[in-house]
Amino acid sequence: MGGGPRGELDGAPVGRRVVLGLLGLGAVGVVAGRSVQEELSHLLAPAQLRDPTGLTSLVPLGNTWRYYSVTGAVAPRAPSAYRLTVSGDVATSATYSYADLAALPQTSFTDTFQCVTGWHVPDVPWSGVRMADLLDLAGPTADAVGVRFRSFDGTYAVNMTLEQARADDVIVALSMYGEPVTHDHGGPVRIYSGSMYGYKSTKWLDEIEVTTNNLPGYWEDRGYPLDGIIGE
Ligand SMILES: Nc1nc2c(c(=O)[nH]1)N[C@H]1C(S)=C(S)[C@@H](COP(=O)(O)O)O[C@H]1N2
Ligand SMILES: [Mo]
């Protein structure tokens, strides 16, 4: 597929050309190893799922994973080539390799993954480095209030307040279901932010920048709440 935006459309009508293009792929049956049905489920927000177009029968309902990428295909990055930088308004910037992250204390817990569009996946086991630990190692300056997380997909970014980022259930996740985070789920390293909606959980994480502001990120620019706290 080309590089057009995919993932949540936030209730926007799905472009007819996009849908027809995906249906055309039905002849092939899979896109990047996944089913066309699954691809459609990425594109169709709940409003479309209720739309009796006939296309809805192609969309699996229920609470299953959707693999989101606003940039289309992302080049996989091997753990050996992976680097995470922590910089910005901090006393000590740092660059971590995958091995560096794996050598830090790991926190594990099981939680429900909740996308703001309504789907959720219960009982997901996560493991990784607490964001608070990485922030403590960096030492935010006195005027720092926010953290910007960026993805090596080149487009996705999201913010949290420093306080949100320090919560016990915000981790730089290295493992999911007891296995390394898969590429489709944002591996080798993604964020998991338990008390916030899925859009705060940046996939393919490669930059943590401590900031003196709290600017909106990719989805917040498109209308999602800046704090992203589940249930608010
Ligand atoms: N880089 C990147 N991170 C992302 C997204 C994305 O499109 N690109 N989508 C977000 C949204 S809205 C959700 S719900 C989750 C989905 O995670 P999954 O693809 O592992 O299911 O990833 C979040 N992180
Ligand atoms: Mo989401």
Q: What percentage of the chain carries pLDDT values higher than 90? A: 69
Q: What are phi and psi of 114, to 5 degrees?
A: -130, 110
Q: Specify whether the CB–CB gap between 147 and 162 falls below 8 A.
A: yes
Q: Which two tokens stand for residue 162?
A: 């420093």
Task: Name residues with Cβ closer than 5 Å to ligand 2, which is an ion.
Answer: 115, 198-199
Residue 44 has pLDDT above 60, yes or no: no
What does the pLDDT average to over 134-139? Answer: 98
| Per-residue pLDDT at 26 | 37
| Per-residue pLDDT at 117 | 87
Q: Determine how many CB atoms are found less than 10 A away from the CB of residue 20.
A: 10
For 88, residues 6+ apart whose C-beta sits below 8 A from its C-beta are: 144, 147, 148, 208, 209, 210, 211
Centre of ligand 1 to C-alpha 115, Å, is: 9
- Ligand 1 pocket, 130 CB below 6 A? no
Ligand of minimum distance to the alpha carbon of 190: 1
Centre of ligand 1 to C-alpha 202, Å, is: 6
Three-state DSSP class for residue 137:
helix
Task: Provide the whole-model pTM.
Answer: 0.79
Instruction: Note the pLDDT tens digit of each residue in 191-217.
Output: 999 999 999 999 999 999 999 999 999
| Per-residue pLDDT at 52 | 41
Instruction: Note the pLDDT tens digit of each residue in 171-185.
Output: 999 999 999 999 999
CA atoms within 13 A on the CB side of 136: 8
Three-state DSSP class for residue 92:
coil
Instruction: Note the pLDDT tens digit of each residue in 50-78.
Output: 334 444 445 555 678 889 999 999 999 99
Q: Which atom of ligand 1 is nearest to the CA of 186?
A: 20
Cis peptide bond N-terminal to 188, omega within 30 = yes
Q: What is the pLDDT of the chain when averaged over all its residues? A: 82
Kindly list the structural domains of the chain, giving each domain's residue range(s) and its CATH number in brackets, ordered by start.
7-67 (no CATH), 79-222 (3.90.420.10)
Residue 23 has pLDDT above 70, yes or no: no
| Per-residue pLDDT at 151 | 98
Centre of ligand 2 to C-alpha 102, Å, is: 27
Name beta bridge partners: 35.
Answer: 30
| Per-residue pLDDT at 64 | 85
Helix spans in the chain (H): 16-24, 36-43, 46-49, 98-103, 131-138, 162-165
What is the 3-class SS of 14-52, one letter each residue?
CCHHHHHHHHHHHHCCEECCEEHHHHHHHHCCHHHHCCC
Q: What are phi and psi of 150, to 5 degrees?
A: -120, 155
Ligand of minimum distance to the alpha carbon of 150: 1
- Ligand 1 pocket, 203 CB below 6 A? yes
What gap in Å lies between CA 150 and CA 166, rounded to an integer? Answer: 17
C-alpha dist (Å) from residue 215 to 151, 160, 210 = 16, 9, 12
| Per-residue pLDDT at 232 | 74
- Ligand 1 pocket, 152 CB below 6 A? no
Place of tokens 């177009």: 53
Chain centroid to CA 188: 12
Q: What are phi and psi of 88, to 5 degrees?
A: 95, -140
Residue 35 has pLDDT above 90, yes or no: no
